[in-house]
Each structure stands twice: as structure tokens, then as C-alpha cells.
């Protein structure tokens, strides 16, 4: 177990001052860390963020007994790059992961470079029992597998999504095999796996992932000398839009079919969280577990998500694309019934978790996130005067934005630069660029400087994107950061 020198020194001093070894003299116990990640969850699709129609009583209870983050940003407005940023603590643009992995068999054999250290590696090396459950989407080859990227346990699927009802995807697999097309079975239909071995999942996928989370927690309880880190990455409410009838029945007032299905999928996650919390309490681990809940990006509007009052949704660098619902919960450690309104980034999880774990981060590791814990507890801005960036490449240009304190500059679809005071105008309705040209210039300059740290994409989601990238001589940053428009 790796423990930093300052922690060792404090422990030695305490032992010398108190020979009776009273509890008060001991250093604080390292917390278990339960990180729950929803997939494509809308900003307004949980009760604690004001959902008018979707019930999430179990998440809401945790949120009300913890702190809700109102300005939490993901590293990218798409699934794969967002997860790469979250686990590495670095912008995915810096190591060529700006696009979702290829939409081909085994993601084309590609994945997040193995040179990138994950937070799971750091926590595992510091003595944590580590687990990943659910969606991976960071590479499917042996060298990219969760079990060699710092996770003791993995249960789930390696690609970007999955069918939810086993009886349906198994029937499709049976038909493909009958036609001799076993090797052509899409990832969304393949069997789930546990530590590299196929398993016969029999439950609705969200329920199966919740079950496995409970199993991991029970296993962790037996490891008395090890705290745990569990990365529970639900694929709900990501497409395909498939919900259980009994979950949709919880929302009789919702008449729109897409919205009702979406609501049922979110409710299944909430039901699972209830079982997980019950397991933490039953095993005596609840009091020393930091629970973090958030989404990988904004909700997808065409599938029934609601990002109100934010503009746009998944894939956008407007607030609705990468500003996510989030809370922290940890009894007697995280303030209860509070809101933290200052901007934070998913890149901050890496150094914050490492700090709480007294874990040693390799000296060669470059981070874009920062440890926000002390500022968070003091209810002060952890990123005062610092900038959070977002970029999504499109056909022949890039959508970009940068937020610094209350100011956000944004340019999309080859349009002009706009400036918003997102503390007062989170819906981005009132462009203030004409009133504050110097702020626009400062933020655009910071975006331009940031872009010089980018690597060329190592892959594209589909071949057409790669063709268009070369045809349009992308990334064309000399045009992106021009202030002439």
C-alpha cells in the first residue's frame, strides 16, 4: 500500500503523543469510493435537479443528504471521449481520443493509449479493491481490458452500448449463428462478460448491473484491510430505448411514448441505487463511502431527454451538451442539503479521489484536473480564474467553448463568437460579446493556446469522418479561433 510521507509523519507523531492509541489520535480512514455514472442523462431528468415528471426518490435522498453540484462539466459531449477524460484526468484531445471509437468489430482493435494511467491504476496501487461494472467503451483488445487497467473485477460489456432484454438479444444471436454469422454479431448483442469470460445474463441489463454492484460491495466487505473503488457505469438511459413495463407504469401522467420509455430507464437506475445503498448499510460500509453520481454527457433530446433550462443536448458545446447533474454524498464528511455552484470538471475526479485515498500519483502523470476537495468543503471556487474547455469536431470546422468563472465564450456551426454570463444566464439566451470584447478575446486566446496541446485523432467513429477530416484539412484552427467573425 502506497501512503504519502506526510500521512506517515502524522501517524508517527500521533503514536508518540498518545500511547493509549485513542481513536481521536488516528488519521482519518480512507473512504470507499462509489462512482455511479449514468449514460446520456439529461440535466433535468432527476428529481434533485428539478425534474417535473421523472421520479428518482433514491437518488434524491442521497442528494438531499449530500451536496448537489449545479455547474459540473464533463470532459467532452460524447460518451467515449468523456469517459477517457474522466478516467485519465486529461482532456481526450491530448491523446487522440476526440472521437468515439470506430463503429466496427472490436472497435477496430483501437483504444485509449496504454501509456495513459487511469485513476483505477493509482487507487489499485495504493491498496484499493477496484471494480468496474457496466459500459467500458475505452477499447476491446486485451491491452485495453479493464482487468489490465487497474480493475480487479469487471462485469459488463466492452463496446459503446447494449440491448437491455436478454431474451431479445439472445434470440437475435441464435438467428445469426444459424446463418453462420457468429463472427458478425454486433457488440450490442454479444454476451456480457465477467473478467474476460462470457456470462449468461438473465436480467434486464440495468438490473443485472445493479445486482453485480451489490455482489462487489459484499465481496469488498470481507476485505477488512482494503477500501474499495467501484466504477459503476450504467448504460441507461442510452439507446436502444428499452424499458420494463412496470417501470414505465410508474409514470402514468407521461403520455409521450419516447419520454415514458426514457423515464422507465432512469427509474430502473434509481431502483438499483436503492439496493446498492441497502447493501452498503447492511455490510457496515455506508458511513465511510463517498458516493458520486453524474452523467457522461448531456441528454439526447430526440430520445426523450430533458436538459432544461440548458440549451441543446448531447454532442453540443452549449450547456446542454456537457453540463451534467451531479452530487456528492458521504455521511459526516460532505455537507448535507447544500449546493455547490462553482464550476468543476470531470477531469477533477482523478486528483480528488487520489487525494482522498492518500494515493501516490506518478510523477510523470500530467493532469488537467485538480483536487477540489478542500475548496469544495469551504464552499469556495476550486477553479477561480481557471478555464474549462470543450470541443467537438464537425464537418470542416469545430464547435468550441470555454468557461472561466461566470463567463463562457462559444462558437458553433461556423457562426460568430458569443459570450454569456452563465451564472445569470445558464440557458445562454443573452449574448454579451458586444459589451465585453476584451473578455471574448481573452477566452478565445486561451482556447487557441489550449488547442496547441492537442494530438491528431487516433481514430474516427466511422470511415466517413476520417475521409472528411482529411478532405477538409482539419482541424483548421486558424479559422476556428479567428476573431473576424
Please indicate, yes or no, if residue 80 is contained in any of the structural domains: yes
Same-domain check for residues 179 and 50? yes
Same-domain check for residues 263 and 397? no
Percent of the chain scoring above 70 in pLDDT: 94
Same-domain check for residues 23 and 39? no
Q: Which of 377, 405, 436 is the last residue of a domain?
A: 377
Read off the pLDDT of residues 217-257 as tens digits, 9 standing for 90 and up: 999 999 988 999 999 999 999 999 999 999 999 999 999 99
Q: Burial of 184 by CB count in 10 Å (0-12 exposed, 13-18 middle, 19+ buried)?
A: exposed
pLDDT for 29 equals 83
Read off the pLDDT of residues 381-410 as tens digits, 9 standing for 90 and up: 999 999 999 999 999 999 999 999 999 999
Q: How many domains does the chain have?
A: 3
DSSP H helix total and E strand total for the chain: 14, 15
Same-domain check for residues 444 and 362? no
Top pLDDT among 61 and 182 is at: 61
The CATH number linked to 424 is: 3.30.1120.10
Please indicate, yes or no, if residue 244 is contained in any of the structural domains: yes
Please indicate, yes or no, if residue 382 is contained in any of the structural domains: no
Same-domain check for residues 395 and 364? no
**C-alpha cell of residue 114:** 496504454
- Mapped onto helix, strand or coil, the DSSP state of residue 341 is coil
Q: How many CB atoms lie within 10 A of CB 378?
A: 9
Same-domain check for residues 181 and 245? yes
Q: Which of 332, 349, 377 is the last residue of a domain?
A: 377
Q: Examine the pLDDT at 20 and tell me if it is beyond 70.
A: no
Rounded to the nearest integer, the mean pLDDT of the chain is 93
Please indicate, yes or no, if residue 224 is contained in any of the structural domains: yes
Read off the pLDDT of residues 195-227 as tens digits, 9 standing for 90 and up: 999 999 999 999 999 999 999 999 999 998 899
Same-domain check for residues 230 and 261? yes
Distance from chain centroid for Cα 70:
15
Read off the pLDDT of residues 170-187 as tens digits, 9 standing for 90 and up: 999 999 999 998 888 999
Summarize the confidence of residues 89-93 as an average pLDDT. Answer: 98
Positive/negative CA dihedral, 362, 364, 369, 370: positive
Please indicate, yes or no, if residue 428 is contained in any of the structural domains: yes
The CATH number linked to 308 is: 3.40.720.10
Q: Give me the domain span that covers residue 436.
A: 387-480
Same-domain check for residues 26 and 39? no
Top pLDDT among 104 and 270 is at: 270
Confidence bin at 306 (pLDDT 50/70/90): very high
Summarize the confidence of residues 132-151 as an average pLDDT. Answer: 98
pLDDT for 485 equals 64
Query: Do β-strands 129-135 and 153-157 pair in parallel, antiparallel, or remain unpaired?
Result: parallel
Distance CA 483, CA 75 (A): 25
Q: Examine the pLDDT at 194 and tell me if it is beyond 50.
A: yes
Amino acid at each position: 500500500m502506497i501512503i504519502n510521507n506526510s500521512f506517515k509523519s502524522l501517524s508517527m507523531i500521533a503514536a508518540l503523543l498518545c500511547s493509549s492509541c485513542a481513536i481521536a489520535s488516528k488519521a482519518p480512514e480512507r473512504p470507499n469510493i462509489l462512482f455511479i455514472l449514468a449514460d446520456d442523462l439529461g440535466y433535468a431528468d432527476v428529481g434533485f435537479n428539478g425534474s417535473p415528471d421523472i421520479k428518482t426518490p433514491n437518488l434524491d435522498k442521497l442528494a438531499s443528504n449530500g451536496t448537489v453540484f449545479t455547474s459540473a462539466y464533463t470532459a467532452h459531449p460524447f460518451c467515449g471521449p468523456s469517459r477517457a477524460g474522466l478516467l485519465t484526468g486529461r482532456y481526450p484531445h491530448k491523446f487522440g481520443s476526440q472521437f468515439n471509437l470506430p463503429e466496427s468489430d472490436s472497435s477496430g482493435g483501437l483504444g485509449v493509449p496504454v501509456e495513459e494511467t487511469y485513476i483505477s491504476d493509482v487507487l489499485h496501487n495504493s491498496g484499493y479493491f477496484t471494480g468496474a461494472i457496466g459500459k467500458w467503451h475505452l477499447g476491446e483488445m486485451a491491452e485495453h481490458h479493464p482487468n489490465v487497467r487497474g480493475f480487479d473485477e469487471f462485469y459488463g460489456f466492452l463496446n459503446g452500448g447494449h440491448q437491455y432484454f436478454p431474451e431479445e438479444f439472445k434470440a437475435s444471436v441464435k438467428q445469426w449463428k444459424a446463418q453462420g454469422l457468429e463472427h458478425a454479431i454486433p457488440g450490442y448483442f454479444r454476451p456480457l462478460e465477467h473478467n474476460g469470460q462470457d456470462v449468461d445474463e438473465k436480467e434486464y441489463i440495468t438490473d443485472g448491473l445493479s445486482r453485480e454492484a451489490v455482489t462487489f460491495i459484499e465481496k469488498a466487505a470481507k476485505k477488512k484491510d482494503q477500501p474499495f473503488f467501484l466504477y459503476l457505469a450504467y448504460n441507461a438511459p442510452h439507446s436502444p430505448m428499452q424499458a420494463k413495463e412496470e417501470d414505465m407504469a410508474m409514470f402514468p401522467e407521461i403520455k409521450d411514448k419516447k419520454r415514458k420509455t426514457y423515464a422507465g430507464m432512469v427509474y430502473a437506475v434509481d431502483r438499483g441505487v436503492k439496493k446498492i445503498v441497502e447493501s452498503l448499510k447492511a455490510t457496515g460500509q455506508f458511513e465511510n463511502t463517498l458516493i458520486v453520481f453524474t452523467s457522461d454527457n448531456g441528454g439526447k433530446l430526440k430520445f426523450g431527454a430533458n436538459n432544461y433550462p440548458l440549451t441543446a443536448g448531447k454532442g453540443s458545446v452549449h450547456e446542454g451538451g456537457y453540463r451534467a447533474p451531479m452530487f456528492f454524498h458521504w455521511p459526516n464528511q460532505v455537507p448535507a442539503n447544500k449546493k455547490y455552484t462553482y464550476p468543476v470538471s470531470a477531469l477533477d475526479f482523478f486528483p480528488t479521489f487520489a487525494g482522498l485515498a492518500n494515493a501516490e500519483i506518478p510523477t510523470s502523470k500530467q493532469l488537467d484536473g485538480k483536487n477540489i476537495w478542500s475548496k469544495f468543503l469551504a464552499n469556495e471556487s476550486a477553479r477561480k480564474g481557471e478555464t474549462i474547455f470543450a470541443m467537438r469536431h464537425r464537418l470542416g470546422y469545430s464547435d468550441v467553448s470555454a468557461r472561466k468563472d461566470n463567463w463562457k465564450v462559444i462558437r458553433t456551426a461556423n457562426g460568430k463568437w458569443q459570450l454569456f454570463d452563465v451564472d445569470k444566464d445558464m440557458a445562454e439566451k443573452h449574448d454579451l460579446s458586444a459589451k465585453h470584447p476584451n473578455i471574448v478575446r481573452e477566452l478565445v486566446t486561451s482556447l487557441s493556446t489550449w488547442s496547441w496541446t492537442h494530438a491528431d485523432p487516433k481514430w474516427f467513429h466511422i470511415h466517413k469522418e476520417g475521409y472528411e477530416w482529411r478532405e477538409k484539412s482539419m482541424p483548421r484552427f486558424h479559422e476556428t479561433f479567428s476573431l473576424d467573425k
